Structure 1
Amino acid sequence: MWKLTRPDNRHDKLTRDTLLDLEDHHLVRIESVREDQRQVWVLTRRGHGEAKQLLEPKGIRISALRKQDYDPDTGELLGASYDDHAAAVTSTAAELHRAGIGHLLGFQTEIGHRLGNGYVQRADLVVRAPEAGVPVLLLEIDRRTEDAHDLVTKLRRYWEWGRLLAKDADKRTVDLVRSRPDAIDHVDHGQRLWRRMYPPTGREGLVPLAFVFADTTEAKVANTVAVLEEAGRRYWAPRRYDTLYEKAVTARDYRQAVPVVVTTLEQLRQHGAGAAVWRRLGRTGEQTLTAALDNPDGDALYRAQEARADAEDKRRRAAQREAQRPVCKRCGRKFTDQRWEETTAHRTAWSAGDLSVCGDCHADDIARKEAAAEAARLQAAAPSGPEPEHNRELGRLCGLFRRRG
């Protein structure tokens, strides 16, 4: 609580005094004292009710009430085994807050995500820190009390939840997904359930998930991460883009993947949550949280590579076409696009004349034919010349005989 509420204070006196004051008003109580003498404080029933009245109108859910039940035989407080895990969750939130990732009201615990079969997958911690470049992040805090394959199952459930349709999705989309489940890959995220609960992430993919390991060894963490990477590949790994330029496009499609990052609570405490302490599954080395969540080989690279490949393809096709362009057998010049089309298109080739000559030479041919035709027409229409003398004399005698008769 001290690190979460007063991350800049070097001592916890202010937080301790505040808790003591709340205890005097019966709003909080000490549930247990850990081995390192840190106290675990929880809300009383009265404090829980006041917290709900304060926070729920602001859209902030609080965790369930921790009832103060005791074992009738031993007198020990029941449910106290959850304390170490709860402390790890709170400590993780405190380290995120100390690094400027999330404000006090931007953290929620035990948030349920209901699957299609009715199962509810609860996230240990949800942080919303848009000002830090992390609009939403789900966190699972593991003290290595769970088998690695159980974490893979959790990852699968978050992946399945991210593929559910919203209740108000249009009927055509609902019917399509019911008849062909893989059709969800082509449904915009705006029509999915997760977008009714969380804001856009600002990146490709589903809601990002972080596994924070606490109170364990480096070897155990390494083994667990190896299982997550191998057995959970279907859920976190990007796909190849469906493109015509497979060799030119090396970008990966993250749209259907859950971005998964891992770290340890020890690293967060030692270096701070804002440092390069996060490793993205499928990558080597550690990065800052925003860098780990970004996809430098994703959509932006795809659009750039696709545009370059498309431009190169157009250039290559143009060069191939130019190499095939016909050359006039009469003058040696290349055909224009118009003349090339005239000589090859079925609807115009029959009237294109000599198919081996260019447009200018074809125009010359037409001009010569038209000139010859015009000359022939003029010659046919011209008078035949003066009559011979004996024909004129014969005509006069015939006319004289006709008058006399």
Structure 2
Amino acid sequence: MWKLTRPDNQHDKLVRDNLLDLEDHRLVRIETVREDQRQVWVLTKRGHGEARKLLEPKGIRVSALREEKYDPVTGELLGAGYDDHSAAVTTTAAELHRAGIGHRLGFQTEIGHRFADGYVQRADLVVRAPEAGVSVLLLEIDRRSEDAHDLVTKLRRYWEWGRLLPRDADKRTVDLVRSRPGAIEDVEHEQRLWRRVYPPTGREGLVPLAFVFADTTEAKVANTVAVLEEAGRRFWAPRRYETYYREAITAKDYSQAVPVVFTTLEQLTEHGADAAVWRRLGRADEQTLTDALDNPDGDALYRRQYARAEAEDERRRAAEREAQRPVCKRCGRKFTDQRWEETTARTAWKAGDLSVCGPCHADDVARKEAAAEAARLQAATPPELEHGGQEPGKLRGLFRRRG
């Protein structure tokens, strides 16, 4: 707590005085003394209960109680388990907090991620720092006490946990996931278990994971990272987008990947957690934490490239269609879209001469209509009137009246 709450204070007298006061009230106890003679204090059972009453109503989870265990023969206190690894976890949290990444009450240790078979993958440290652009980050602190392939296994488990459904998932979704391998990728993240536990990350992919290496050499870190990049590629690496415009799209699909970054505790201590000391698996350069977690070649680039490719494809198809547009055999004009459609539709037999454009076809129709009207009028006119004669009956009547 001293490292976390007062990281820049070289003197811990104030903290010690407060701990001694808490000890008088049987709320804390000394668990062990480190090699540098610093005392490690933990909550007693009573103190753990008081902490839960104080913090859990505020949504702050309290770590498990470290119970006092004594040797049945000697009566000596056992289980002084606060080791160098725990110290490295605390120091990592302190360095993140000192850099403004995470409120002091926004850190949790030993957070379990439970699988259907009952196995629990525990993260050494979880930080939530939305104000710093990191909604949530899982951290594994490694003092090279674990084989590199063990870290790959941890990465795989976090990836698998991010693909689980909650117990109350609707039946259609459950049946879909059971229907075929990889069907979970068709299920939105909002419907998965991890979104019940953590807030949205604001980026593509699953919950980001950070490896912090401590008390080791650059060569060992490099070897470990090489194993993570190669053996863990399926879990951290993005994929190509499945799209019709494959050649025009260079963006990568991070939606099913675990963003993995790493650094060393020495770099955090020397330069600060807000400096360019983080490297993303698959990238060559060190970046700030937020830059390392961002995906400049991800979804945003994909949308831009897809829009450009779609527009270019529309221009190409329009040009190809224009090149195929028929030309009138009579006047040389290009067909309009309407005339083109008339001559290619199922009712093209009604379109007249298919080799002429709309205006020429209209002229043909007008001529045919004029000829038809002239023929109708001619058929309706008697032959005598047509040659200028008069009706025979009228002439005979005239002659009779004169006689």
Classify the TM-score, shorter chain: over 0.9
Asked whether the 8 Å contact 1:213–1:221 carries over to 2, the reply is yes
> Structure 1 residue 380: deviation in Å?
1.9
> 2:25 aligns to what?
25
> Structure 1 residue 153: deviation in Å?
0.5
* Alpha-carbon separation, structure 2, partners of 1:77 and 1:118: 31
User: Amino acid of the residue matched to residue 100 of structure 2?
Assistant: G
User: Amino acid of the residue matched to residue 378 of structure 1?
Assistant: L
SS of equivalent to 1:169: coil
> Structure 1 residue 239: deviation in Å?
1.0
Q: Are the structure 2 counterparts of residues 76 and 83 from structure 1 closer, same or farther at C-alpha, using a change threshold of 3 Å?
A: farther
Query: Are residue 383 (structure 1) and residue 387 (structure 2) matched?
Result: no
Asked whether the 8 Å contact 2:33–2:40 carries over to 1, the reply is yes
* Alpha-carbon separation, structure 1, partners of 2:392 and 2:263: 127
* Alpha-carbon separation, structure 2, partners of 1:285 and 1:73: 56
* Alpha-carbon separation, structure 1, partners of 2:77 and 2:275: 39
* Alpha-carbon separation, structure 1, partners of 2:381 and 2:54: 113
Map residues 6-405 of structure 1 onto 2, 5 A cutoff.
6-71=6-71, 77-346=77-346, 348-385=347-384
SS of equivalent to 1:228: helix
SS of equivalent to 1:151: helix
Q: Gaps (5+ residues) in structure 1?
A: 401-405
Q: TM-score, normalised by structure 1?
A: 0.92
User: Amino acid of the residue matched to residue 317 of structure 1?
Assistant: R
User: Amino acid of the residue matched to residue 251 of structure 2?
Assistant: A
- 1:24-56 deviations in whole A, cap 9, x for unaligned? 322222222222333322112222221122122
* Alpha-carbon separation, structure 2, partners of 1:48 and 1:335: 86
SS of equivalent to 2:212: strand
Asked whether the 8 Å contact 2:27–2:44 carries over to 1, the reply is yes
Q: Are the structure 2 counterparts of residues 232 and 93 from structure 1 closer, same or farther at C-alpha, using a change threshold of 3 Å?
A: same
> Structure 1 residue 182: deviation in Å?
1.4
* Alpha-carbon separation, structure 2, partners of 1:74 and 1:360: 112
SS of equivalent to 1:277: coil
- 1:199-248 deviations in whole A, cap 9, x for unaligned? 11111111111111111111111111111111011111111111000010
Q: Gaps (5+ residues) in structure 2?
A: none
Pairs aligned (count): 396
User: Amino acid of the residue matched to residue 232 of structure 2?
Assistant: G
SS of equivalent to 2:332: coil
* Alpha-carbon separation, structure 2, partners of 1:120 and 1:48: 23
- 1:320-348 deviations in whole A, cap 9, x for unaligned? 000110111111110000000111112x2
> Structure 1 residue 21: deviation in Å?
2.2
- 1:273-328 deviations in whole A, cap 9, x for unaligned? 11111111111111111111111111111111111101110010000000110111
* Alpha-carbon separation, structure 2, partners of 1:279 and 1:11: 33
SS of equivalent to 1:111: strand
* Alpha-carbon separation, structure 2, partners of 1:51 and 1:164: 32
- 1:118-150 deviations in whole A, cap 9, x for unaligned? 100011111111111111111111111111101
* Alpha-carbon separation, structure 2, partners of 1:139 and 1:77: 30
Q: Are the structure 2 counterparts of residues 85 and 76 from structure 1 closer, same or farther at C-alpha, using a change threshold of 3 Å?
A: farther
> Structure 1 residue 70: deviation in Å?
3.8
* Alpha-carbon separation, structure 1, partners of 2:388 and 2:145: 133
* Alpha-carbon separation, structure 1, partners of 2:166 and 2:151: 26
User: Amino acid of the residue matched to residue 166 of structure 1?
Assistant: P
SS of equivalent to 1:284: coil
Q: TM-score, normalised by structure 2?
A: 0.93
Q: Are the structure 2 counterparts of residues 186 and 385 from structure 1 closer, same or farther at C-alpha, using a change threshold of 3 Å?
A: same
* Alpha-carbon separation, structure 1, partners of 2:148 and 2:111: 22
User: Amino acid of the residue matched to residue 296 of structure 2?
Assistant: P
* Alpha-carbon separation, structure 2, partners of 1:90 and 1:396: 135
Asked whether the 8 Å contact 2:32–2:82 carries over to 1, the reply is no
SS of equivalent to 1:104: coil
User: Amino acid of the residue matched to residue 260 of structure 1?
Assistant: V
SS of equivalent to 1:247: helix
SS of equivalent to 2:113: strand
User: Amino acid of the residue matched to residue 351 of structure 1?
Assistant: K
* Alpha-carbon separation, structure 2, partners of 1:33 and 1:65: 19
Asked whether the 8 Å contact 2:3–2:90 carries over to 1, the reply is no
SS of equivalent to 1:139: strand
Asked whether the 8 Å contact 2:206–2:256 carries over to 1, the reply is yes
Taking only the aligned residue pairs, the percentage that are identical comes to 83
* Alpha-carbon separation, structure 2, partners of 1:55 and 1:369: 94
- 1:133-192 deviations in whole A, cap 9, x for unaligned? 111111111111111101111111111111000122211011111222411001011111
* Alpha-carbon separation, structure 2, partners of 1:20 and 1:287: 42
* Alpha-carbon separation, structure 2, partners of 1:274 and 1:14: 28
Q: Are the structure 2 counterparts of residues 60 and 32 from structure 1 closer, same or farther at C-alpha, using a change threshold of 3 Å?
A: same
